[in-house]
């Protein structure tokens, strides 16, 4: 077996290498002894370094002690910083989770990878992701994520042989509320490492393959509700959430140490975007493109802690991370992508000046306001949208409070040149099939005449998001009321808001939530429908619309919304059940059988879905199969009344009264007022006594 050579770079070695930098020498000496076939064959000869990528959602770099913040409490991140190279000026290409991670994995800007918002888009199969390229080489690839936005089905999972997105039940929760505690996510990641990540290949050399592990933590995303002891220890709840994320990072780092991976691995800690925290009026993120939402931490720990404690002051972007990690793995970082490898910067060598580009179409899609684009150079930050340009001097004015656009035309032109070719008319958020779109149009779900023009140059003349920030504040107060259980007050606030801002998609959606909680399904359905009509974004609205349509008995519409949910990659068990129920109610029994079978493939141990499949088989007169399914449901849930009752009826119809009677009696023990069981048992007892 070949032994991996361990070189600890020194300045003398660098000189002897004739200009090859410190990390470059390590790479030449250790990471690329022989090429690995692109299809992964010969993986037993792969000697590349392990890679662990940690993304902490919504983390501003300037709220970390590693970046000079005094009030934080992040011992794990501080520990990593001591072992790592810190990038002082790293920026995100989008202040939203899904587009930013798509850029992180592909090395492309949103116009190239096609993801422009958290909902309504999918990362296409033609995207060459970091996980795919590493997996084709020789890596074992796995991910554990904490947010619904990064769930499997969005395309972000491609290339990972193991993708853990077990976030628990999703029904009745908004996408922002569907998250997993960071400690649970880290536990899942470490479990994979212990059980699978270090497993041997089947190659004769029996050498373990290197791992690429991606871990995503959702703290400190709003709402900020840090656990103890951080809630009491830190005055600012955002800082408390960061401390909670740091605790999870610490557990991960300890686990890597225990597994003998810490020293060997490249470990990256980064965020997808920052958080407004009110600096320019925006409390959270997605709407504006100022520094607080775009600048993110970036720490890269090299094997053997090479260049530990160093820092790089130049502008870099998340799109640079994929080519960097590919080169560190001994692979071609790729040509023609927006990103470039930062390997030279990791050992202190200069890299060419660059400009970090960013976009947000969230204001357009959710509020009917202008989208924004921006460019950050070494000195200036230019933001365009809403019919105007803003220019800030980041050296003299890091808080971006003094707009120089009217006073420095030369800098506006110089930085603006980098935005000249930026694609400003991305496809609208739609992931549905042509059949689904046609069905939605047939129901009237098309953009209404009073919706704003949202395409082409007209979109860029819509109101600037910052000018309408008061609307966002009002929406936030209404949502806070909803979260506090004050649905009636929230509904009143939201009704006033959408009457003044009729294109406010989020306003209509949250009004639907409030009205639903108040027990008014008809009005809730109308509010959700208006949000769908304005946005066309089935992905976030289909679950509620499916459920409410069923409540109202609109079974044709249940089918349309359930199909739209499936087309958008939403595999929720309740949507699947309602789809089956709608087909059965409409008399389309064979289609209902197919739907029920598909549900059982997805959720094979769900007693309610197994029971429903049995009920469908009863409708199809396939009684033997129905009995099998009903008994299976009762194995999983012995006291499940619907299954007990239907099985009793089935047995009684087949003349198996002795088997049916005890089932009816058990139903009545559990539900004394059950009329079907009362009448069924009476018939059996009457027949046995000669009375009928």
Q: Which string of DSSP letters, residue by residue, matches 455-518?
A: SHHHHTTSPPGGGGHHHHHHHHHHHHHHHTT-HHHHHHHHHHHHHH-TT-HHHHHHHHHHHHHT
Query: Once rounded to an integer, what is the mean pLDDT over residues 222-227?
Result: 92
CA distance 76 to 249: 6
CA distance 224 to 238: 6
Paired strand residues for 164: 144
pLDDT band for position 456 (50/70/90)? confident
Helix (H, G, I), strand (E, B) or coil at 398: coil
pLDDT higher than 70, residue 2 = no
**pTM score, two decimals?**
0.81
Q: How far is CA 418 from CA 55, 321, 357, 358, 414, in A?
A: 28, 21, 8, 11, 8
* φ, ψ for residue 206, nearest 5 deg: 55, 35
Query: Once rounded to an integer, what is the mean pLDDT over residues 83-104?
Result: 98
CA distance 652 to 642: 15
Contact 538, 532 (CB under 8 A): yes
Query: Once rounded to an integer, what is the mean pLDDT over residues 378-397?
Result: 97
Rg (CA), the chain: 29
pLDDT of residue 447: 43
Q: Find the range with the poorest average confidence among 449-463, 544-558, 574-588.
A: 449-463
Q: Quick one: which of 188, 193, 141 has its CA closest to 168? A: 188
Query: Once rounded to an integer, what is the mean pLDDT over residues 564-586?
Result: 86
Query: Once rounded to an integer, what is the mean pLDDT over residues 101-115?
Result: 96
pLDDT higher than 60, residue 143 = yes
Contact 285, 359 (CB under 8 A): no
CA distance 381 to 403: 10
CA distance 92 to 97: 10
pLDDT band for position 33 (50/70/90)? very low
pLDDT of residue 145: 97
pLDDT of residue 583: 96
pLDDT of residue 356: 98
Q: Are strands 51-56 and 266-270 parallel, antiparallel or unpaired?
A: parallel
- Cα 508–501–474 angle (5° rounding)? 80
Q: How far is CA 537 from the centre of its chain?
A: 16
pLDDT band for position 532 (50/70/90)? confident
pLDDT higher than 90, residue 426 = no
Torsion sign over Cα 131, 132, 135, 137: negative
Helix (H, G, I), strand (E, B) or coil at 605: coil
Q: How far is CA 692 from CA 56, 92, 663, 668, 675, in A?
A: 71, 78, 20, 22, 19
Q: Find the range with the poorest average confidence among 65-74, 190-199, 247-256, 593-602.
A: 190-199
CA distance 459 to 452: 8
CA distance 522 to 532: 15
pLDDT band for position 686 (50/70/90)? confident
pLDDT of residue 441: 57
DSSP state of 192: H
pLDDT of residue 49: 92
Query: Once rounded to an integer, what is the mean pLDDT over residues 180-196?
Result: 94
pLDDT band for position 38 (50/70/90)? very low
Q: How far is CA 578 from CA 340, 509, 555, 575, 596, in A?
A: 48, 21, 9, 5, 10
pLDDT: which is higher, 446 or 509: 509
pLDDT higher than 60, residue 331 = yes
pLDDT of residue 435: 59
Query: Once rounded to an integer, what is the mean pLDDT over residues 339-363?
Result: 93
CA distance 370 to 465: 6
pLDDT of residue 475: 93
pLDDT higher than 80, residue 41 = no
- What are the tens digits of pLDDT across the range 201-221? 444 445 578 999 999 999 999
Query: Once rounded to an integer, what is the mean pLDDT over residues 412-423?
Result: 95
CA distance 564 to 434: 10
CA distance 87 to 61: 10
pLDDT higher than 70, residue 89 = yes
pLDDT higher than 90, residue 169 = no
pLDDT of residue 378: 95
pLDDT of residue 453: 47
Contact 233, 17 (CB under 8 A): no
pLDDT of residue 129: 96
Burial class (CB within 10 angstroms; exposed 0-12, middle 13-18, buried 19+) of 9: buried
Paired strand residues for 372: 360
pLDDT higher than 70, residue 465 = yes
CA distance 76 to 56: 13
Q: How far is CA 637 from CA 577, 613, 632, 640, 647, in A?
A: 18, 15, 9, 6, 14
pLDDT: which is higher, 560 or 302: 302
Q: Can you read off the two tokens belonging to residue 206?
A: 């029996």
- What are the tens digits of pLDDT across the range 590-641? 999 999 999 999 999 999 999 999 999 999 999 999 999 999 999 999 999 9
DSSP state of 411: H
Query: Once rounded to an integer, what is the mean pLDDT over residues 292-304?
Result: 98
Q: Can you read off the two tokens belonging to residue 476?
A: 């936030």
CA distance 656 to 676: 17
CA distance 30 to 339: 25
Average pLDDT, the chain: 86
Q: Quick one: which of 456, 457, 493 has its CA closest to 477? A: 493
């Amino acid at each position: 077996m070949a032994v991996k050579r361990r070189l600890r770079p020194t300045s003398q070695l660098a000189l002897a290498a004739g200009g090859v930098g410190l990390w470059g020498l390590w790479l030449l000496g250790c990471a690329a002894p022989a090429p690995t076939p692109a299809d992964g064959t010969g993986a037993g000869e792969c000697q590349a370094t392990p890679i662990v990528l940690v993304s902490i959602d919504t983390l501003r770099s300037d709220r970390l002690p590693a970046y000079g913040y005094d009030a934080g409490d992040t011992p794990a991140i501080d520990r990593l910083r001591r072992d790592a190279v810190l990038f002082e000026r790293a920026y995100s290409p989008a202040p939203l989770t899904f587009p930013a991670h798509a850029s992180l994995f592909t090395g492309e800007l949103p116009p190239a990878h096609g993801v422009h918002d958290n909902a309504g888009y999918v990362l296409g199969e033609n995207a060459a992701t970091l996980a795919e390229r590493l997996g084709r080489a020789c890596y074992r690839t796995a991910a554990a994520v904490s947010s619904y936005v990064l769930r499997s089905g969005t395309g972000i999972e491609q290339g990972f042989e193991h993708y853990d997105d077990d976030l628990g039940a999703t029904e009745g929760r908004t996408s922002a509320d569907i998250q997993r505690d960071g400690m649970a996510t880290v536990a899942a990641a470490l479990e994979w490492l212990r059980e699978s990540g270090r497993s041997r290949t089947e190659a004769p050399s029996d050498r373990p393959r290197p791992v690429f592990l991606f871990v995503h933590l959702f703290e400190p995303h709003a709402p900020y509700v840090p656990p103890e002891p951080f809630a009491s220890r830190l005055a600012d709840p955002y800082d408390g959430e960061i401390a909670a994320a740091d605790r999870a990072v610490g557990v991960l780092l300890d686990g890597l140490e225990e597994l003998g991976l810490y020293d060997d691995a490249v470990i990256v800690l980064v965020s997808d975007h920052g958080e407004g925290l009110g600096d320019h009026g925006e409390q959270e993120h997605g709407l504006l493109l100022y520094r607080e939402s775009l600048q993110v931490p970036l720490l890269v720990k090299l094997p053997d802690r090479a260049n530990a404690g160093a820092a790089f002051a130049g502008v870099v972007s998340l799109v640079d991370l994929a080519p960097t990690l590919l080169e560190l793995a001994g692979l071609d970082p790729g040509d023609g992508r927006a990103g470039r490898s930062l390997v030279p910067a990791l050992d202190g060598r200069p890299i060419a000046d660059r400009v970090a580009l960013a976009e947000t179409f969230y204001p357009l899609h959710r509020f009917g306001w202008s989208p924004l684009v921006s460019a950050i150079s070494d000195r200036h930050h230019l933001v365009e949208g809403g019919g105007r340009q803003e220019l800030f001097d980041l050296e003299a004015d890091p808080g971006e409070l003094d707009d120089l656009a009217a006073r420095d035309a030369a800098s506006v032109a110089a930085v603006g040149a980098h935005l000249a070719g930026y694609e400003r008319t991305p496809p609208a958020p739609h992931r549905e099939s042509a059949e689904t779109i046609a069905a939605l149009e047939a129901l009237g779900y098309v953009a209404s005449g009073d919706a704003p023009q949202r395409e082409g140059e007209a979109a860029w003349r819509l109101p600037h998001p910052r000018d309408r920030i008061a609307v966002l504040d009002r929406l936030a107060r209404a949502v806070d009321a909803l979260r506090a259980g004050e649905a009636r007050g929230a509904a009143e606030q939201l009704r006033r808001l959408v009457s003044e801002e009729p294109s406010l998609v989020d306003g209509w959606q949250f009004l639907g939530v409030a009205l639903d909680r108040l027990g008014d399904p008809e009005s809730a359905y109308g509010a959700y429908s208006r949000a769908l009509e304005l946005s066309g974004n089935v992905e976030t609205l289909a679950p509620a619309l499916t459920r409410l349509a069923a409540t109202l008995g609109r079974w044709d519409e249940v089918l349309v919304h359930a199909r739209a949910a499936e087309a958008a990659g939403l595999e929720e068990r309740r949507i699947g059940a309602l789809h089956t129920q709608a087909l059965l109610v409409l008399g389309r029994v064979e289609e209902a059988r197919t739907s029920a079978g598909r549900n059982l493939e997805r959720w094979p141990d769900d007693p309610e879905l197994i029971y429903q499949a049995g009920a469908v088989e009863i409708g199809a007169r396939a009684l033997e199969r129905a009995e099998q399914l009903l008994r299976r449901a009762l194995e999983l849930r012995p006291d499940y009344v619907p299954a007990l009752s239907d099985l009793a009826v089935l047995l009684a119809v087949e003349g198996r009264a002795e088997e049916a009677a005890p089932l009816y009696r058990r139903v009545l023990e559990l539900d004394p007022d059950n009329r079907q069981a009362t009448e069924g048992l009476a018939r059996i007892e009457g027949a046995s006594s000669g009375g009928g």
